């Protein structure tokens, strides 16, 4: 299954290090939180689908292993997949510490590129908390009797951060948060 998903969560507080880099914990997913996606059906009509991730779907070994060292980029690339920084968007990466806490998958992150640092500085000065959006591929999508789909995550591709609260960067432009999960 090659369904790509983009989900947005608010990181824990950002901490500026003595050398100017920013460190935080980023939430990559949360068990049971409804995620609404819009996608066209075979006739081109937009359909709404609600998906949740189960503990098995979020915290499986394959998915968790794919997180370590994941690139953090300024925006989700137009190609939808990380391309070894050919677009020059990389501003940081996830570190080796991955946690499972209260049904969440959390990873340490570092922003060490001046562009990301400047954005975080500006947002924090404005009293806003920079957000992050994870991109991952699904291994399986199972429909339940109630019409909700359960995600089984497979591989994480990248993290887009820092993002303006209430917005996401999608396909190279800023999009209101309520449209971030729309699938082309």
Which band of pLDDT confidence, cut at 50, 70 and 90, is reported for residue 182? very low
CA pair distance 173, 180, nearest whole angstrom: 11
Q: Please give the full DSSP string across 123-152, using - where no structure is assigned.
A: HHHTT---EEEEEEEEEEEEE-TTSPEEEE
Over residues 103-151, the pLDDT tens digits come to 999 999 999 999 999 999 999 999 998 999 999 999 999 999 999 999 9
Q: In 15-148, where do the E strands start and end?
A: 15-16, 22-30, 35-40, 46-53, 71-73, 90-101, 104-111, 131-143
Which pTM value belongs to this model? 0.84
Over residues 18-75, the pLDDT tens digits come to 999 999 999 999 999 999 888 777 898 888 889 999 999 999 999 999 999 999 999 8
């Amino acid at each position: 299954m090659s369904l790509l998903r983009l989900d947005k969560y608010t990181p824990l507080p950002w901490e500026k290090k003595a050398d100017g880099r920013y460190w935080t914990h980023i939430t990559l997913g949360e068990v049971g939180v409804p995620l609404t996606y819009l996608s066209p059906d075979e006739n081109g009509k937009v359909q709404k689908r609600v998906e949740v991730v189960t503990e098995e779907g979020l915290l499986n070994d394959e998915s968790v292993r794919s997180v370590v060292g994941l690139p953090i980029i300024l925006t989700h690339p137009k190609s939808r997949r990380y391309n070894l920084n050919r677009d020059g968007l990389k501003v940081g990466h996830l570190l080796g510490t991955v946690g499972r806490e209260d049904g969440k998958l959390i990873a340490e992150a570092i922003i060490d590129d001046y562009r990301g640092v400047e954005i975080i500085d500006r947002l924090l000065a404005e009293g806003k908390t920079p957000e992050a959006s994870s991109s991952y591929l699904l291994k399986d999508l199972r429909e339940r009797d109630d019409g909700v789909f359960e995600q089984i995550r497979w591989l994480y591709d990248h993290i887009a951060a820092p993002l303006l609260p209430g917005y996401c960067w999608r396909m190279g432009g800023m999009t209101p948060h309520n449209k971030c999960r729309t699938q082309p």
